[in-house]
């Protein structure tokens, strides 16, 4: 039973549709404490939708969602903040929970944006804002962290550093992480489970260990290959432009 | 002291300004100014109801405004019309129906101008009680729902995902809006209530860099507008409601100077 107690959220044949159009369906996955689940798939394949189902943002869904935690940190993919709001980074950090100043400072330092603490949110660059979003999500010390393309707009060196940070957070907080990758094949090597979506679960599995693979070392560089890896996979079916699924 | 009509007017105005300050900030942040207008227009229907059924005016305005807000939410769910069209539909039709009903009630003499633009100088001790009990109550409830309401104003999905229940906060906020309209209708009138909500908050936006500061400045702006407006209405013998709103506009124009300076500093 001990493994059951580690489950944070569980999707059983979950799906979501708007009117008659399915955004995603038949998704079964679970996120456990200390584990990283990575979602990959092309644009419009239902990655963000799946995350929103897991978070309970979408309520009228098919299938089942069982959530066993309320301590959640979320980094949405797109966040449209109304810049007419006078909002500094420091105010944004306490948006959903009151935190001590030192907790805020610690989180902002971890993601490398402590110098922006008193800046207006509207004045940040895309990459800076992404780091603030991540800092806010981790500052609450959540049990479940949902990161929807958390490194978009961050330069490559910064991307590696943030992935390292995510790995560190996962180890330190022992929280479960649902990570959505913006790359079809590159995932964090710390990922325990990869789910490839395209309107449904195309395939899932574990990433290969590239730290040992010289070809990838050459591709990513020494440091990066320790944190990033490839998820090599082939599908036994194709999606036609009409949205039908054909077996190969 | 309460025997003096001017003291009563001042107390009523101040009581309302303290509440419209923070609510007005949310009206601006959530882009609800036209929504406020709609609720205010529907208040006329509430007033006619109060006269015919011999209810308390504030109470029946509160009921009718809440009802209109509920109808709006239902229409938003069930039709494909855009939000502003629905608001316009409700605002003008409820105003029209209110005026038609007044036409039927020939046996009661209505002070239409007073309803539309406020008659703060006719504030009674009962009105003061409603303002000074209802007002703090609205503030207290707003303080309780501040976190989820503010978080969902910044980003709805973030608030929902992290378990703050933004839908409930929004529903409660709508009721608070109906509440402030009910207690302030006598002071500024139904055509100018939204002005009292928006203008001090807009002024505050120009001079603040955090939400808390904006709320505080918005309250101060509202209070100053009431004092300035009432004294000038006494001095120049003008209607109280428009005088207060004009004073608020004056403060807003002053606050624009601050923007110019900060832009200069940035360059």
Dihedral angle, C-alpha B168, B171, B176, B177, nearest 10 °: 150
Q: How confident is the model at residue A224 (pLDDT cuts 50, 70, 90)?
A: low
The fraction of chain B above a pLDDT of 90, given in percent, is: 58
Q: In what order do the strands lie in the sheet with A72-75?
A: A72-75, A144-148, A176-180, A36-40, A193-197, A201-205
CB–CB of B162 and A74 under 8 A? yes
Give the count of domains, chain B.
1
Q: Longest Cα pair distance anywhere in chain B, in angstroms?
A: 65
Instruction: Assess if residue B87 is contained within a domain.
Output: yes
Lowest mean pLDDT among A94-98, A100-104, A186-190, B99-103: A186-190
CB–CB of A74 and B208 under 8 A? no
Q: How confident is the model at residue B52 (pLDDT cuts 50, 70, 90)?
A: confident
CB–CB of B155 and A81 under 8 A? yes
pLDDT number for residue A177: 93
pLDDT over threshold 50, residue B4? yes
Q: What is the value of ipTM here, to two decimals? A: 0.80
CB–CB of A76 and B150 under 8 A? no
Closest chain B residue to the Cα of A97, Cα to Cα: B147
pLDDT number for residue B196: 93
Q: How confident is the model at residue B267 (pLDDT cuts 50, 70, 90)?
A: very low
pLDDT over threshold 80, residue A218? no
Q: How confident is the model at residue B25 (pLDDT cuts 50, 70, 90)?
A: very high
**What is the pTM (predicted TM-score) of this model?**
0.85
Instruction: Assess if residue B19 is contained within a domain.
Output: yes
Q: Which long-range contacts (CB under 8 A, 24 or more apart) does B67-75 make?
A: B67/B42, B68/B38, B68/B39, B68/B42, B68/B94, B69/B39, B69/B174, B69/B175, B69/B177, B69/B178, B72/B35, B72/B38, B73/B174
Higher-scoring residue by pLDDT: A214, A157: A157
Q: In what order do the strands lie in the sheet with A7-18?
A: A21-32, A7-18, A62-67
Instruction: Assess if residue B58 is contained within a domain.
Output: yes
Lowest mean pLDDT among A61-75, A117-131, A192-206: A192-206
CB–CB of B214 and A81 under 8 A? no
Instruction: Assess if residue B265 is contained within a domain.
Output: no
The whole-angstrom separation of Cα A191 and Cα B242 is 64
Domains in chain A (CATH in brackets) are 2-71+142-239 (3.40.50.300)
CATH of the domain at B71: 1.10.3470.10
pLDDT number for residue A81: 74
Interface of B with A (CB under 8 A): 28-29, 31, 147, 150-151, 153-155, 157-164, 205, 208-214
Q: What is the pLDDT of residues A135-181, one digit of tens each?
A: 999 998 999 999 998 888 888 888 888 888 888 888 888 899 999 98
Instruction: Assess if residue B267 is contained within a domain.
Output: no
The whole-angstrom separation of Cα A180 and Cα B196 is 46
Domain that includes residue B182, residue range: 5-260
- Among partner residues B147, B161, B211, which is closest to A74 by beta-carbon distance? B161
Instruction: Assess if residue B266 is contained within a domain.
Output: no
CB–CB of A96 and B150 under 8 A? no
pLDDT number for residue A179: 92
Higher-scoring residue by pLDDT: A188, B179: B179
The whole-angstrom separation of Cα B245 and Cα B194 is 10
Q: What is the pLDDT of residues B77-110, one digit of tens each?
A: 888 888 889 999 999 999 999 889 888 887 777 7
pLDDT number for residue B260: 61
pLDDT number for residue B250: 96
Q: How confident is the model at residue A215 (pLDDT cuts 50, 70, 90)?
A: low
- Among partner residues A52, A84, A96, which is closest to B164 by beta-carbon distance? A96
pLDDT number for residue B1: 56
pLDDT number for residue A209: 53
pLDDT number for residue A42: 79
Instruction: Assess if residue B163 is contained within a domain.
Output: yes
């Amino acid at each position: 039973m001990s493994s059951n107690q580690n489950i944070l959220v569980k999707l059983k044949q979950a799906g979501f549709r708007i009117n008659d159009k399915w955004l995603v369906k038949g998704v079964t996955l679970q996120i456990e404490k200390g584990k990283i689940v990575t979602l990959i798939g092309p644009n419009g394949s239902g990655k963000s939708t799946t995350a929103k189902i897991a978070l309970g943002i979408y309520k009228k869904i098919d299938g089942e969602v069982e959530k066993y935690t309320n301590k959640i940190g979320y980094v949405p993919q797109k966040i449209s903040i109304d810049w007419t709001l006078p909002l500094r980074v420091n105010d944004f950090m306490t948006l959903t929970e009151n935190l001590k100043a030192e907790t805020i400072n610690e989180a902002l330092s971890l993601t490398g944006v402590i110098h922006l603490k008193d800046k207006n949110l509207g004045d940040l660059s895309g990459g800076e804002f992404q780091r603030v979003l991540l800092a806010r999500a981790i500052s609450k010390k959540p049990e479940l962290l949902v990161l929807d393309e958390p490194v978009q707009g961050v330069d490559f060196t910064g991307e590696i550093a943030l992935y390292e940070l995510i790995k560190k957070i996962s180890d330190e907080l022992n929280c479960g992480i649902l990570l959505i990758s913006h790359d079809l094949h590159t995932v964090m090597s710390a990922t325990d489970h990869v789910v490839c979506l395209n309107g449904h679960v195309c395939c899932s599995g574990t990433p290969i260990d590239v730290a040992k693979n010289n070809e990838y070392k050459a591709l990513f560089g020494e440091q990066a290959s320790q944190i990033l890896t490839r998820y090599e996979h082939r599908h036994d079916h194709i999606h036609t432009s009409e949205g039908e699924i054909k077996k190969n | 002291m309460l025997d003096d009509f001017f003291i009563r007017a001042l107390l009523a105005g101040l009581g309302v300004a303290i509440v419209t300050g923070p609510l007005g900030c949310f009206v601006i942040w959530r882009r609800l100014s036209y929504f406020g207008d709609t609720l205010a227009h529907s208040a006329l229907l509430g007033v006619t109801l109060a006269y015919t059924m011999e209810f308390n005016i504030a109470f029946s305005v509160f009921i009718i405004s809440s009802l209109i807000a509920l109808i709006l939410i239902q229409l938003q769910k069930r039709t494909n019309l855009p939000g502003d069209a629905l608001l316009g539909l409700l605002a003008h039709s409820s105003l029209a129906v209110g005026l038609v009903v007044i036409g039927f009630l020939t046996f009661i003499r209505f002070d239409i101008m007073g309803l539309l633009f406020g008659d703060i100088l006719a504030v009674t001790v009962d009105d003061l009680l409603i303002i000074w009990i209802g007002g703090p109550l609205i503030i207290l409830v707003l303080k309780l729902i501040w976190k989820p309401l503010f978080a969902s104003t910044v980003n709805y999905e973030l608030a929902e995902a992290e378990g703050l229940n933004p839908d409930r906060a929004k529903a409660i906020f709508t009721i608070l809006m109906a509440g402030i309209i009910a207690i302030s209708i006598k002071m500024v009138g139904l055509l100018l209530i939204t002005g009292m909500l928006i203008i001090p908050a807009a002024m505050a936006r120009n001079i603040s860099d955090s939400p808390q500061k904006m709320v505080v400045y918005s309250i101060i702006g509202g209070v100053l507008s009431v004092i300035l407006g009432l004294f000038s209405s006494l001095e120049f013998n003008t209607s109280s409601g428009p005088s207060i709103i004009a004073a608020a506009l004056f403060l807003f124009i002053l606050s624009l100077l601050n923007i110019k300076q900060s832009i200069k500093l940035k360059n």
